[in-house]
Amino acid sequence: MTFYVTTPIYYANSLPHLGHLYTMVVADTIARHQRQQGVETFFLTGTDEHGINIERAAQRNKRTPQEQADFVVGYFEKMTAAFGLDQAHGGYDIFMRTTAPFHYEGVSELWRRIAKAQTPKGRPALYKGHYEGWFCAPCAEYKTEDEYIKPETSDEPPRCLVHETPLDRVSEESYFFRLSDYDQELLDLYESRPDFVRPESRRNEVRSFVAGGLQDLSVSRLRTSVSWGVPVPDDPNHTMYVWFDALTNYITAIGFGNEQQEHVVGFEKFWPALHLVGKDILRFHAVYWPAFLLAAGVPQPRAIVAHGMWVDPTGRKMSKTLGNTIELDVLNRFFPIDAIRYFCLREMVFGQDGRFGYANLIDRTNSDLASGLGNLSSRTLTMIQRYCEGRIPSGLIADEARLAAKRAGVEAEDAAIRSFLEHARDVFLRYFDELAFSRALEEAWGVVARADKMISDAKPWDLAKDPSQRQTLNAVLYRSAETLRWLAVMLYPVMPDAAREICRQLGLKDDVARFDPHKLQWGGLPEGTEIGEVKPVFPRIEKTNTMNDIKTTETTATADETSQAPAGSTKGSGQHATEADAVPGVASFIEITDFAKIELRVGEVRTAERIPKADKLLLLTVDIGEPQPRQLLAGIAQYYEPESLIGRKIVVVANLKSRKLRGYESQGMLLAASVGEEGKPVLATFAEEVPNGARLK
Interface with ligand MSP by CB under 6 A: which residues? 8-11, 19-20, 22-23, 48, 246-247, 277-278, 280-281, 309-310, 317-318
Q: How far is the CB of 401 from ligand MSP (least distance, A)?
A: 55
Catalytic one among 78, 238, 275, 317?
A: 317
Q: Is 20 a catalytic residue?
A: yes
Closer CB to ligand MSP, residue 309 or residue 520?
Answer: 309
- Asked, as a colleague might, if the bond just before 612 is cis with ω within 30 of 0, I would say no
Q: Is 116 a catalytic residue?
A: no
Pairing of strands 141-143, 126-136: antiparallel
Angstrom CA distances, 53 to 49, 137, 171, 556, stand at: 9, 6, 19, 28
Angstrom CA distances, 347 to 19, 390, 442, stand at: 13, 36, 10
The alpha carbon of residue 553 and the mean position of all alpha carbons in its chain are separated, in whole angstroms, by 20
Asked if 473 and 404 count as a contact pair (C-beta separation under 8 A), the reply is: no
Q: Is 503 a catalytic residue?
A: no
DSSP H or E run through 7: strand 2-11
Catalytic one among 33, 78, 103, 136?
A: 136
**Which stretches does DSSP call E strand in 211-335?**
217-218, 220-222, 231-232, 235-240, 274-278, 303-307, 310-311
Q: Using CA of residue 549, residue 552, residue 558, residue 564, what is the dihedral sign?
A: negative
For residue 603, list its beta bridge partners: 650
Catalytic one among 50, 78, 103, 160?
A: 160
Q: Is 613 a catalytic residue?
A: no
Q: How far is the CB of 247 from ligand MSP (least distance, A)?
A: 5
For residue 652, list its beta bridge partners: 601, 670
Q: How far is the CB of 335 from ligand MSP (least distance, A)?
A: 18
Task: Please tell me the distance from the alpha carbon of residue 57 to that of residue 685, in angstroms, as a whole number.
Answer: 31
Task: Please tell me the distance from the alpha carbon of residue 232 to that of residue 85, in angstroms, as a whole number.
Answer: 34
Closer CB to ligand MSP, residue 56 or residue 606?
Answer: 56
Q: How far is the CB of 10 from ligand MSP (least distance, A)?
A: 4
Burial class (CB in 10 A: 0-12, 13-18, 19+), 610: middle
Q: Is 89 a catalytic residue?
A: no
Task: Please tell me the distance from the alpha carbon of residue 286 to that of residue 304, in angstroms, as a whole number.
Answer: 7
Q: Is 320 a catalytic residue?
A: yes
Q: Which residue is nearest to ligand MSP (CB)?
A: 19
Q: How far is the CB of 239 from ligand MSP (least distance, A)?
A: 16
Q: How far is the CB of 196 from ligand MSP (least distance, A)?
A: 17
Closer CB to ligand MSP, residue 332 or residue 685?
Answer: 332
Burial class (CB in 10 A: 0-12, 13-18, 19+), 180: middle
Q: How far is the CB of 165 from ligand MSP (least distance, A)?
A: 15
DSSP H or E run through 508: none
Closer CB to ligand MSP, residue 244 or residue 515?
Answer: 244
Catalytic one among 33, 78, 139, 616?
A: 139
- All residues at 6 or more sequence positions from 462 whose CB lies less than 8 Å from its CB, including other chains: none
Q: How far is the CB of 281 from ligand MSP (least distance, A)?
A: 4
Q: How far is the CB of 312 from ligand MSP (least distance, A)?
A: 9
| CA-based R_g, the chain, Å | 30
Closest of 453, 472, 452 to residue 462, by C-alpha = 472
Q: Is 649 a catalytic residue?
A: no
Closer CB to ligand MSP, residue 312 or residue 363?
Answer: 312
Closer CB to ligand MSP, residue 45 or residue 119?
Answer: 45
Closer CB to ligand MSP, residue 83 or residue 538?
Answer: 83
Closer CB to ligand MSP, residue 55 or residue 561?
Answer: 55
Closer CB to ligand MSP, residue 298 or residue 476?
Answer: 298
Closer CB to ligand MSP, residue 309 or residue 547?
Answer: 309
Cα first-last separation, the chain: 53
Catalytic one among 50, 285, 320, 649?
A: 320
Q: Is 317 a catalytic residue?
A: yes
Give DSSP secondary structure letters for 328-355: HHHHHHHS-HHHHHHHHHHHS-TTS-EE
Q: How far is the CB of 316 from ligand MSP (least distance, A)?
A: 10
According to the 3-state scheme, what is the secondary structure of 515-553? Answer: CCHHHCCCCCCCCCCECCCCCCCCCCCCHHHHHHHHHHH
- Catalytic residue numbers? 17, 20, 136, 139, 160, 163, 317, 320
